[in-house]
Structure 1
Amino acid sequence: MKFTDGYWLMRPGRTARYATEVADVRADEHRVTLYAPVKHVRRRGDTLNSPLLTVECWSPAEGVIGVRTTHHAGSARPGPEFALPGAEQSAGKVRRDGAVVELSAGDLTLRVDTSAPWKLEFTADGQVLTTVGERGTAFVTDDEDRHFMLGQLSLGVGELIYGLGERFTPFVRNGQTVDIWQADGGTSSEQAYKNVPFHLTNRGYGVFVNHPGKVSYEVGTEAVGQVQFSVEDQSLEYFVVHGPTPKRILERYTALTGRPALPPAWALGLWLTTSFTTDYDEATVNRFVGGMAERGIPLSVFHLDCFWMREYQWCDFEWDPDTFPDPAGMLTRLKDQGLRISAWINPYIAQKSAMFEEGMRLGHLVRRPDGSVWQWDLWQPGMALVDFTNPAAREWYIAKLRTLLDQGVDCFKTDFGERIPTDVVWHDGSDPERMHNYYTHLYNRAVFELLREVRGEGEALLFARSATAGGQQYPVHWGGDCESHFNAMAESLRGGLSLGMSGFGFWSHDIGGFEGTPTPTVFKRWVQFGLLSSHSRLHGSKSYRVPWDYGEEAVDVTRAFTLLKHRLAPYLQRAAQQAHATGIPVMRAMVLEFPDDPAVGTLDRQYMLGDDLLVAPVFTDDGTVEYYVPEGPWTNVLTGARIEGPRWVRERHDFHTLPLLARPDSVVPLGADDQRPVSDWADGVELRVHAFADGAERTLVIPRSDGPGEAARFHLRRRGDRLFVTTDSRHPWHLRVGGPDGSVHSRPADTLEADLPYPA
């Protein structure tokens, strides 16, 4: 929200009060509280009839400093609040030297000169990261009696801002106004399903605004040298998170707000759905599943979308008897074919559903201030909303899901959760404005915890659309309702990379697009992109996404990239374990992996898949693609071509290739089994060695496929024309080396040590 009219004036009806100086300091060993008047105090009389801001500073963790500015501390705070599982009580250390007060948390220091005009200075390793200047701590009132708290942090020359959730606007946030407010707005507007009040910069720090309600950002748009954030409240709390690298920022941010659970490895395979409004029944499901098998396309998960239930009755969790007369038997027959089952749900209860009357009678539905049940006709006629702040309502809702799990459903697509009203009363007294964004967190957490309870640790999995800060703990998330053309494909990727920069480790999208029907060209290119994402699902709205509807070549492309993803499963699972352990996403914006390369700062049409693979999807009808290659000799995994960076490349690819480049000095493990995502990956694993320089060394871990841990470990080092390999694996393994001319050397091995020639 903008408050000023240019540099000098305020907008009509608005009055700002800025912290001007430090009138008093209270400090102990770990915490500093500053008292800041909003005008210069020359004499005692100036302390009267004027506000005094309270600014508390502390550290919840190493490398993190919190700042809370409060105007009136007596205002009610009904919640909800973001949980901070990684917060400590006293991580910082305070030092005073005359008028200077410093709070340090590891390498990050907040410095305040109490004898000077108001200024908070954040430094690390002797360098200033950002500052809060003369207009950086304030409250604003307007002629509607609204009260806003405001914070501003300086933007340095060339400083770029990323994150704030899964956003589909330009990847770099500079120059954008962003409201953290959940909306069901598709993928082609400024609205977003996943709003996260956290941004990071290319200058070594990130900022998390700890407020679950609406946070309004002006990223260089009101004051061009400032990132401004404001909330309608009496208090504003934010955390500055030091890196210095983007990866380290994400590690510290997710340590504070929660790390992603590790999804089961079977979810890495291909998912197929019934699509949304298409006609389907058990015969359709069987035709799809059988058609994939007949064409040699392995399928891992089958998803049943909304119309597995009867129309007008979502959600009552009752199968439509006309189309699925024997649901338990059908699920058994599908699972006998090795499939996992996903079912669509949402937290809304249509009036025609028997659950509506039951929920209303039991008090489980959200109510208006007059006691009536909140209802509207968008989406489902007369629909109401489950009140997840009510423990009894939460148990009532998940009890319905237990029945589906007993029938054989493995996971749920937790759709919706964005259009949450603010003219309601919540069971626990939560503030409706703060609950609007936070509702999705309660919804997804309830379903995820049920799955973890019933299926066990490591088996819980959602396919969720909406989220806010902390929602990364309940993967996987997908990009929502995109259209079926190249622009939408690029929008989806941009949103996914932005979500990754906001602390989310896993992300997917609707292969082929959701709205409309893709052309065969778009479908085939989206298949390549989708099967080189962390999770891969074919899904549409009014048309099916079975590949044979898009031609025989589409079948070939889908088969080839599905088999490729299965072989990449040990590599992808290792990246998944990293996301689980550190918060670093599987799909990474280039700036996350190459922060010191100035060419990558704005790149949003390519990404790193794990540590070592660069993917540049093709967004053109003629197969032309332009992408950037960082420094060093990179190798196209599909063609063997060697590309020396740093430079821009323009190529044309057929539908069986795209830029899929292996990093210099990388070793990519490929599983022996291309028919399924889960196998004993160490048995017969092929180690692909790419452009290993003389003197290079690399340790490669083959993960377990049944949960965290290692199945095998290899250590490779090159000395001249020899490559030495040591391992603890007792399984057969293979080595394949790509030479500078694309030639390869392959040798099966089942020994614990190997001395191999490295091709010239």
Structure 2
Amino acid sequence: MKFTDGYWGMRPGVQALHPAQAYDVQAGTESGDASLTVYAPTRRIRHRGDTLNRPMATIRLFSPAPGVVGVRLTHHAGGRERPPHFALPGAGAADGKDRASIRVDDDVAELTSGSLTARVHRGDTWRLDFVATDRATGQERVLTSSGPKSMGFMTMPDGGHHVVERLDLNPGDAVYGLGERFGPLVKNGQVVDIWNNDGGTATEQAYKNVPFYLTNAGYGVFVNHPGLVSFEVASEIVAGTQFSVQDQELEYYVIHGPSPKEILTRYTALTGRPARVPAWSYGLWLSTSFTTDYDEATVTSFVEGMAERDIPLSVFHFDCFWMREFNWCDFEWDPRTFPDPPGMLKRLKGRGLNICVWINPYIAQRSPLFAEGKARGYLVRRPDGSVWQWDMWQAGMALVDFTNPRAREWFAGHLRRLLQMGVDAFKTDFGERVPTDVVWHDDADPQRMHNYYTHLYNETVFDVLREHKGDDGSVVFARSATAGGQQFPVHWGGDCDSTFASMAESLRGGLSLAMSGFGFWSHDIGGFENIPDPVVFKRWCAFGLLSSHSRLHGSGSYRVPWEFDDEAVDILRTFTKLKMRLMPYLSAAAREAYGDGVPVMRPMALEFPEDRATTHLELQYMLGDRLLVAPVMSASGEVSYYLPSGTWTSLLDGGTFDGGRWLTETHSIGSLPLLVRPDTVLPLGAVDARPDYDYADGLTLHLYQLADGHDSTLTIPDAEGAGHSTFHVARRGSSVIVRAVFAGRFPAAWSATVAGTDLVAEAPAGTTELTVTV
């Protein structure tokens, strides 16, 4: 939200109050850690008379975790605190050397947590600096600051009260994140409102809004407010990032890195790490599509058609019309088209498939569950006690009140019945259009619940799956989210059109979400709305199978490849099989997601922060840390992309390219830039028919441009998560020595190749070391 009229004035009717000086500082403790409370009147105090009739800001500094400093800015503290609040599993007092410390003297008051210090200047001018200390040299660097007229309280013409903060941006600072946003990846110059909407992928609205941004300047900022947060990113005041809430209090956390990966690691430690998803979920998902007609015979024809064409299929998804129209959701199979659901699911699972079904958190009036939910108080109500209803989406639909524990259990009970029937996963659609003129069971603030509702919805579903499938077997396919939602993977990009432009929108959204702490992401291959041109579909197949998760889905048409042509079948087969062979590599990348909070699909700036040429790159990405992907988004096959320095190797044809420059190429319909980073040990599995197999058995290690002195250890988890094998690779001159430690039994064989060329050395069963000649 904008408050000013240019640099000097305010917008008509806006009254501003800003801290003028740090008048008094008190040291204390919060949650067992040191804290500082700064009292900052909105005018300099020169004599006792100035203390009268003068508003004051109360600013509390604390540390919820090492390397993180929290700031709580309060005007009036007497308001009634109402839920919801972000659950912060990583917040709490640190132990020993990680505890925050304070220092107060006549000039400054400081709170230090790890390598980050919040420094309040105690002179006649307000200033709060966030200072990083280099671990090696001890040198200090100011990351960002809140200076005069940066933080404050704004009273609007209608009487509304906003709390605002603005943190400086230095020349060259770039801002990323704020959820899944489909515009430019770098947010500088944008206005972003954190407010979930069902707006497709072509507007400034987003399904997944996250009040967290990450910079290339060594820090990120998380605004701890689940409701509407308005961000002005280098827009109202172009040398700062401003954020505001309509409230009497604003809390935010500055998170030090210094690298972007370290920022995400700390942020996800605070808000929650992605869960480990099952190996089968990385395979190809095929959907019935949205409004198409289908029954068991149709589904079986699709499954058999994929098998006949040798296209590996891992998951079959039933979209909306598995239930009867006007009944969504009643969690009952439509008996007219599915007379024997348990038998059908058994037959499908007998083909080696996992099953996903579509759900949403709405109860249509025709559903038998509507009357039950109304009678038991499980549906969200209006202030007059009536059930909130409207006719958008489903006639007379209501909304499940997930703030009511009994309503959550009621909803979960219906999911358990489906799991017992043979369902393995749920597509948790919707959750964005949440009204604010309602009353919640737990007396939640309706404004704060609008974004947070999806968290309770997805958490409810994920908890049921975890109860039934265990920690390593649970996966949802979710559309909406907010901060912390990364704990319930996977998320997909929402309703996009079937064009190259929408392909680019989807990629930007996924990379933006990755910079917001989400480790796993997918999208509708070929686009959702309309029917894609065959060229678009084929290009999207390569992009989709080089994403963490891959789904064929659409609106009004089937998305099986033979609906396009034989070439589409060949391309889908090729890239699906390639992804299956990449599973040892992808599973290792996934360990970084659920272990460290580093996403599987990564913006170039996340992987190469020292290369400023990567700052704005948004049409290419890294899949894990070793593979560069540049999807082709043109009918001609022309694609331009940037290669960081070094000699890169094409995974598809073995060609080599010198980096540190832009390349423009024209690729045939079955090709795209897929390049292996120099100095890489890339593991490829021996199985291309499914994603869940013994990765070590028949494993091949491809050694690309290994530098003399290379020394690395590669960890390959097994498909079930019970253990892992490790490979230590070292190059010394013209020899590469590979030492292996296998989990469990020895594999039948494993091997190593150099630069993707001919097999150089193969190790028989029982061998744990081999030497490769370069």
TM-score if structure 1 supplies the norm length?
Answer: 0.98
Deviation of 1:731 (Å) = 2.0
Aligned amino acid, residue 56 of structure 1: R
Q: Is the 8 A contact 1:685 1:732 kept in 2?
A: no
5 Å matches for 1:555-566?
555-566=569-580
For the 8 Å contact 1:79–1:431, the answer to whether it is kept is yes
Structure 1 residue 654 displacement after superposition? 1.3
Out of 481, 484, 487, the residue aligned to residue 498 of structure 2 is 484
- What is the alpha-carbon distance in structure 2 between the residues aligned to residue 221 and residue 648 of structure 1? 30
**Structure 1 position 656, deviation (Å):** 2.3
Q: Which amino acid aligns with 1:675?
A: A
Partner residue of 1:526?
540
Instruction: Output the CA distance in 2 between the equivalents of 1:731 and 1:738.
Output: 21
Does residue 265 of structure 1 match 2:283? no
Residue matched to 2:463 = 449
Report SS of the residue matched to 1:253. Answer: helix
Cα displacement string for residues 2-26 of structure 1 (whole angstroms, at most 9, x for unaligned residues): 0011111111111110111011110
CA distance in 2, matches of 1:611, 1:142: 48
Pick from 96, 121, 145 the counterpart of residue 129 of structure 2.
121
SS at match of 1:403: helix
Q: For residue 736 of structure 2, what is the amino acid of its counterpart? A: L
Q: Is the aligned partner of 1:657 residue 2:671? A: yes
Residue 753 of structure 1 aligns with which residue? 769
Tell me how far 1:733 sits from its aligned partner: 4.0
- Report the counterpart of residue 60 of structure 1 in structure 2: 64
Alignment of 1:286-435 (within 5 A): 286-435=300-449
Tell me which amino acid in the other structure corresponds to 2:46.
R
Paired residues of 1:180 and 1:196 also in contact (CA < 8 A): yes
Residue 268 of structure 2: SS of its match in structure 1? helix
> 1:734 offset after TM fit, Å?
3.9
Please show how residues 122-137 of structure 1 align to structure 2 within 5 Å: 122-125=130-133, 126-137=140-151
Q: What's the CA shift for 1:115? A: 2.2
Instruction: Please give the secondary structure, in 2, of the residue aligned with 1:626.
Output: strand
Give the aligned partner of residue 5 of structure 1. 5
Q: Give the aligned residue type for 1:753.
A: E
Question: Secondary structure of the equivalent of 1:622?
Answer: coil
Give runs of aligned pairs for residues 184-333 of structure 1, distance below 5 A: 184-333=198-347
For residue 178 of structure 1, give the secondary structure of its aligned residue in structure 2. strand
| Paired letter, 2:300 | N
Shift in CA distance, 708/188, structure 1 to aligned 2, threshold 3 Å: farther
Q: Provide the C-alpha distance between the structure 2 equivalents of 1:451 and 1:28, rounded to a whole number of angstroms.
A: 43
Deviation for aligned residue 1:732: 4.1
Matched, 1:713 2:726: yes
Most deviating of 22-31 and 298-307: 22-31
Residue 110 of structure 1: aligned partner? 118
Is the Cα–Cα contact under 8 Å of residues 106 and 122 in structure 2 kept in the other structure?
Answer: no
Q: Distance in 2 between matches of 1:380 and 1:501?
A: 35
Give the structure 2 partner of residue 723 of structure 1: 736
CA distance in 1, matches of 2:636, 2:157: 57
Q: Conserved in 2, the CA contact under 8 Å of 1:577 and 1:708?
A: no
CA distance in 2, matches of 1:399, 1:200: 39
CA contact (8 A) 1:734 1:747 kept: no
Matching residue's letter, 2:12: P
Give the corresponding residue for 1:21: 21
Alignment of 1:145-156 (within 5 A): 145-156=159-170
Separation (CA, whole Å) in 2 of partners of 1:183 and 1:743: 50
1:736 Cα deviation from its structure 2 partner: 4.4
The answer to whether 1:41 aligns with 2:45 is: yes
CA apart distance, 1:113? 1.8
Distance in 2, matches of 1:322 and 1:558, equals 33
Secondary structure in structure 1 of the residue aligned to 2:571: helix
Distance across 2 between alignment mates of 1:728 and 1:470: 36
List 4+ stretches of structure 1 deviating above 6 A.
none
CA contact (8 A) 1:389 1:426 kept: yes
CA deviations on 1:674-716 (whole Å, 9 max, x unpaired) are 1110111101101111111122122111111102641x11111
Deviation at 1:723, TM superposition (A): 1.3
Question: 2:78 maps to what in 1?
Answer: 74
**8 Å contact from structure 1 (residues 574, 702) kept in 2:** yes
Partner of 2:107: 99
Task: Kindly indicate whether the alpha-carbon contact (under 8 Å) linking 1:80 and 1:438 is maintained by their aligned counterparts in 2.
Answer: yes
- Find 2:474's aligned residue among 445, 457, 460: 460
Residue of structure 2 aligned with 1:85, choices 69, 84, 89: 89
| Aligned partners of 1:79 and 1:430 also within 8 Å | yes
**Structure 1: how far apart are the matches of 2:251 and 2:4?**
22
- Aligned letter for 1:84? L
Q: Is the contact made by 1:82 and 1:470 (CA closer than 8 Å) also made in structure 2?
A: yes
Distance 1:264 1:2 in 2: 45
Per the alignment, residue 437 of structure 1 pairs with 451
Distance 1:600 1:680 in 2: 36
CA RMSD of aligned residues (A): 1.0
Measure, in 2, the Cα distance between the counterparts of 1:364 and 1:113.
52
Deviations 1:554-583 (A, max 9, x none): 000111111111000111111111100011
C-alpha separation between the residues in 2 aligned to 1:756 and 1:487?
A: 46
Q: 1:673–1:104: structure 2 CA closer, same or farther, 3 Å change rule?
A: same
**Which amino acid is the alignment partner of residue 378 of structure 1?**
M
Contact 1:137–1:152 (8 Å) recurs in 2: yes
Amino acid at match of 1:428: D
Unmatched 5+ stretches in structure 2: 134-139
Deviation, 1:325, is 0.8
Whole-angstrom CA distance in 1 between matches of 2:322 and 2:431: 20
- How far off its partner does 1:456 sit? 1.4
Question: Alpha-carbon deviation of 1:747?
Answer: 2.7
1:28 and 1:94 in contact (8 A); partners too: no
TM-score, normalised on structure 2?
0.97
Q: Report the identity percentage.
A: 61
Q: Partner amino acid for 1:677?
A: P
- 3-state SS of paired residue (1:463): strand
Matched, 1:737 2:753: yes
Q: Measure how far apart 1:116 and its partner are.
A: 3.6
Structure 1 segments unaligned to the other structure (5+ residues)? none
Task: Name the SS of the counterpart of 1:311 in structure 2.
Answer: coil
Tell me the CA shift for residue 428 of structure 1: 0.2
Amino acid at match of 1:34: V
Q: Hey, what's the Cα distance between the residues in 1 that align with 2:484 and 2:771?
A: 48
2 CA distance for matches of 1:533 and 1:719? 35
Question: In the superposition, relative to structure 1, how do residues 654 and 736 fare at CA in structure 2: closer, same or farther (>3 Å)?
Answer: farther
